[in-house]
Structure 1
Amino acid sequence: MFFIATQVSSGQSFGETLARFGLTPPAQISALSHAHNAHLRINGRPPAPGTRTVQTVELIVPIDVRLSVAEFRPVINLIDGLRPRPVGESGPPTLTHGVSIRITRNLEAGVGLNWIQTVRKLNNPDSSAPLEFVDVGHNGLPFDEQPPPGQAPRREMSDVPCGPVAPAAGRGVDFTATTTLAVLDRGRIVLAAGKTWGFSIGTARTLPAGVQVRQPRDASAADFANQLRILRAGINQFRQATGGGLNYLLPPRPNTILLP
């Protein structure tokens, strides 16, 4: 767990602000009772989540992100392909080998949370694509999904990365990704928690030899440092800008308070 200092604007409730970070009503009560928010107490009592402020005040929010892998399995589809190429369209071959992955988070819906995924892809069938890139990110932002204003991103990140069967041993797609939940506040993008995983494609047309998986694990400090480097390069696989100049922060140490 770490803490982030944010603002509750005049007229807003504490609960509305805490909900931006996915805190449930019981977690909101606990946060407002925490010693870090003692400055908000009136007559020794913490404010209720529904209390509205009469002026802008600082609020210390506990962030306790836990990611779980709901699905991670190799897949092969030789009939239609995982991402089939339309008939008559030139370009890379139909992608038949890959993995299906779903990663979930513990926190509730919150507009101050979003998913980021960065990738290193060797032997990409699209020779024009970069070796490392921000997956999906577009419109100058690195996020997996950009919902309409005021709507929270989904609580689950899912993906089915894939490629063609390898033309020869050691020449198949080798895909490594770090999937991260980021905390967003006042221009900061804090990489809060992540999973690193991958797979490589072989010459076989059946499992398990056709797709060799690297099981998801908690992202290490080195994984996050590598992700930060890719984010600062700021391009997706189509070489579109994904916000290389944004204010990214590595995961804070436990019990750290991130001040503005």
Structure 2
Amino acid sequence: MFNGLKIGQTGMNTAQKVMDNVADKIANGSTPGYKKAQVGFQELLRNEMGGQEVPLGQSATGSSVGIGSRAVRQKTDFTPGAILPTEGPWDLALEGDGFFGVLLENGTLALTRNGAFQRGAEGMLTDSQGHPLVVDEAVPAAAWPSGKLTVTAEGRILGEGNAVLGQILRFAPGNVDELIPLGEGRFLPTAGADVRNSRENPETSFGPIRQGALESSNADALESLTEMIVTQRAYQANAKSLTTADEMLEAINTIL
């Protein structure tokens, strides 16, 4: 009976965590470069049924009773989103493998597929949170001409007369499943991870950069809404089992 309460409680907690992930996907359905997370279920410890338990049937062997479930973040889905044209002069999209690099407040490198960049007050290219884009500058960004500049497929930033002002670096982690999600479409490589860049590892395959375009989110709105309905039903079923177990305990207490 108490296991029934435990199973209902863990089931509700699991459904809530899955719903949080669904809500995150729905909220970021239009966020450039957003990568959805996949959340799965994991069964908690199972208790083997002893000789004093009620048998399930003559042929039932090795029977056991689970004590609930929990939600487990399995992995991030890095499937590329569609490339859509924009009017932003510093909107950039990676067509293929690789990530842009931005520097966090402490100087740590973070990777992102969100190419919605802008020029900051000091001329540097930054993301929406003000983190500077990793650029190998041939000319200090503060000295770049104002207005729209050209970004080639290889990431070269060109000024008047095709003068090279800098090179946008692209990054390729050895294993994307080891990236730690930070939110806002940014990912942190784990300590000691093999992260290659287009300057030091030109032999590595990096997708070309397309200026005036953004990669769309890979979260599908219809799929997310369907998952939301299924998760709501699971939450309601576990809530009902919890209520039923509570009513049975109340009935037992009344009899005793």
More helix by share: 2
Is the TM-score greater than 0.5? no
TM score, norm. by length of structure 1: 0.23
More strand by share: 1
Q: Which has the larger radius of gyration?
A: 2
Larger relative contact order (CA 8 Å, sep ≥ 6): 2
TM score, norm. by length of structure 2: 0.23
